[in-house]
Chain A
Amino acid sequence: MAFLLKRRTVVPGFGLSLGLTVLYTCLVVLIPLAGLFVKSWALPWAEIGEILSAPRVVASFKLTFLTSLIAASLNLVFGLLVAWVLVRYRFPGKSLLDALVDLPFALPTAVAGITLTTLYARNGWIGQYLEPYGIKAAYSQLGIVIALTFIGLPFVVRTVQPVLEDLDPESEDAAYSLGAGRLQVFTKVVLPLLWPALLTGFALSFARALGEYGSVVFIAGNMPMKTEVVSLLIVTRLEEYDYAGATTIAAAMLLMSFVVLLIVNLLQWWSRRWQAA
């Protein structure tokens, strides 16, 4: 391992620690993931194309992307709002609220799923008020959006919060002293500085929504062509012992998540560009 070292140090244990790390990472992450791609690569291209262009698969990809996009957008707006309020204002119960923002991270997705379904069902606490207006929340695409918004909620808040805290209040003061109005200061001074964090939070929330299973599967209703998300479709194929189908869809899905991850990294690099100057 020593040949990898760029600079020798007196701190011991490089070979041992890196060796173990690489070994464990290969065993737990790299080999299993590679297995997925090898398996789907083994299929002829025509079959891959056939699997991915089936109407049911296309519909579920469309649904997943659309609902994830809507949920991430909702989180973008409300995440900024929550981060803003948590950073800028002082009010009783603030640190409690701050801690609670992470609830969707900590609450098992199955619990979130059955709870949201119960809340938004026709006779649920919230569903009963939507029913008279003809809004069907649970077992519909709206339900998927609700579940995805719930699980993606902390991402935007937690990426924007530290940036907002670090924001130099003097640049805002400077803008006010130069005669800018409140809205102008927000759109011309604050927002440009927050954009990278907002976009990163948005992308993370979107990526999480794409692969979400537990919270969606209960509230979605899981009707093929209508409310069947990709991760559910994979499970369905698996339960039908259609390994080729499940694997191909999963590989396609995984590639898309990696693209989103790549975008996140590019955004983070982009967000650092003025820090270096």
Chain B
Amino acid sequence: MNGIGTNTALVKSQPLVRTHESKWAKWGLTLLAFGFLGLFLLLPLAAIFSEGLKKGWSAYWTALKEPEAISAIKLTLLVAAIAVPANLVFGIVASWAIAKFEFRGKQILITLIDLPFSVSPVISGLIFVLIFGLQGYLGPWLREHDIKIIFAVPGIVLATVFITFPFIARELIPLMESQGRDEEEAALSLGANGWQTFFLVTLPNIKWGLLYGVILCNARAMGEFGAVSVVSGHIRGMTNTLPLHVEILYNEYQFVAAFAVASLLALLALATLALKKILEWKVRSESEARP
């Protein structure tokens, strides 16, 4: 998932439909696009559920009710429950600083915030191994004090926070910039203090954009594989998130179970897409010209 790719879709309005092509060209192109998307998107989506249900519903449920699957679900929820709020607070704070003020070094800060988008997931995991791993900068000290970060839950959380770091800020910055400072100034001129201005005026104005960012951030937090895989150590029932659990099942040739668990993640993806579509519509109304 990449913010540069997604947030441009936010501030768009209904396109103009006007064509000069012949009917044949039109249908031909449409069919070609359908064919491509069908082959690359619909077919894989169908395959996930079909493979998961290959041996019927009971096998599907069994795979999901396994203790290891349950603990993977729990860990995934836990990781998202830490990473998303952390980046939520950061996203709001960062976009407040960037959108409401003109300051030196702003462009550098924006570039830094975008950075995790362009870092390979594997490298995102590696950098934390280099700091907290046994061979890492803090490794010896951590071992002395018996603190485990790599191959443990804290490492997974850290890698996830890194990977999902830009999501919410990236959605909020353009939205807040489009809204300007007028309403905040109006609130202040009417005697509101800073916190009142933020909670009563700014926050209600960005709530849909914020939710949009949270949805995308959450989807990535729950679905991240590469970075988490590097730091997790794959300890069953302990440091396995859902995507890692899928990998283990698949590598053990438990295909039905792998796809059953995968289908959970696919459902999460579909829910994300549906919510995203609804929120895009809401955000559009937020960023439209002020009354």
Contact = CB atoms under 8 A, between A and B. Distances in A.
A–B contact, 8 Å CB criterion (strictly below): yes
Given A4-B103, A11-B188, A126-B43, A28 B259 contact: no
Contacts of B94: 17, 21, 24-25
Contacts of B119: 33, 211, 254, 257
A21 B97 contact: yes
A260 B118 contact: yes
A69 B18 CA distance: 33
Interface string A88-116: 11110001011111111111111110111
A202 interface: no
B5 to A, nearest CB: 5
B204 to A, nearest CB: 16
B185 A10 contact: yes
B30 A85 contact: yes
Interface stretch (A54-62, A133-141, A231-239): A231-239
Interface stretch (B56-64, B122-130, B282-290): B122-130
A6 interface: yes
Contact of A107 (B29, B112, B223): B223
B190 interface: no
Contacts of A110: 223, 225, 243-244, 246-247, 262, 265
Contact of B116 (A29, A116, A159): A29
Given A6-B103, A21-B109, A100-B37, A257 B122 contact: no
A111 B277 contact: no
Contact of B17 (A39, A88, A207): A88
A106 B33 CA distance: 20
A258 to B, nearest CB: 7
A218 B250 CA distance: 9
Interface string B89-100: 010011011101
A93 to B, nearest CB: 9
Interface in B18-67: 18-21, 25-26, 29-30, 32-34, 36-37, 39-45, 47-48, 51
Contacts of A112: 44
Interface in B191-211: 193-194, 197-198
A231 B269 contact: no
Given A36-B127, A158-B5, A211-B120, A176 B20 contact: yes
A89 B19 CA distance: 8
B33 A81 contact: yes
Given A7-B102, A150-B40, A165-B16, A207 B118 contact: yes
A87 interface: yes
A118 B266 contact: no
A114 B255 CA distance: 9
B134 to A, nearest CB: 9
Specify the main secondary structure of chain A where it touches its partner: helix
Contacts of A107: 223, 265-266, 269
Contacts, number: 311
A18 interface: yes
Interface in A173-196: 176, 182, 185
Contact of A82 (B37, B39, B116, B242): B37
B243 A105 contact: no
Contacts of A230: 120
A225 B126 CA distance: 23
Contact of B188 (A10, A98, A116, A154): A10
B131 interface: yes
Given A103-B45, A231-B122, A89 B17 contact: yes
A12 interface: yes
Interface string A115-137: 11011000001100000000000
B37 A97 contact: yes
5 contacts: A25-B94, A29-B116, A234-B120, A241-B135, A250-B122
Interface of A: 1, 4-7, 9-14, 16-18, 20-22, 24-25, 28-33, 35-36, 39, 78, 81-82, 84-91, 95, 97-112, 114-116, 118-119, 125-126, 149-150, 153-155, 158-159, 161-162, 164-165, 169, 172, 176, 182, 185, 201, 204, 207-208, 210-214, 218, 230-232, 234-235, 238, 241, 243, 246-247, 250, 253-254, 257-258, 260-261, 264
Q: Which 8 A-B pairs have the closest CB atoms?
A: A211-B120, A108-B223, A213-B226, A214-B225, A12-B194, A106-B269, A17-B97, A105-B1
Given A115-B262, A250-B126, 12 more contacts: A24-B94, A25-B109, A29-B162, A32-B128, A86-B33, A97-B37, A106-B269, A109-B225, A110-B244, A150-B44, A172-B20, A204-B4
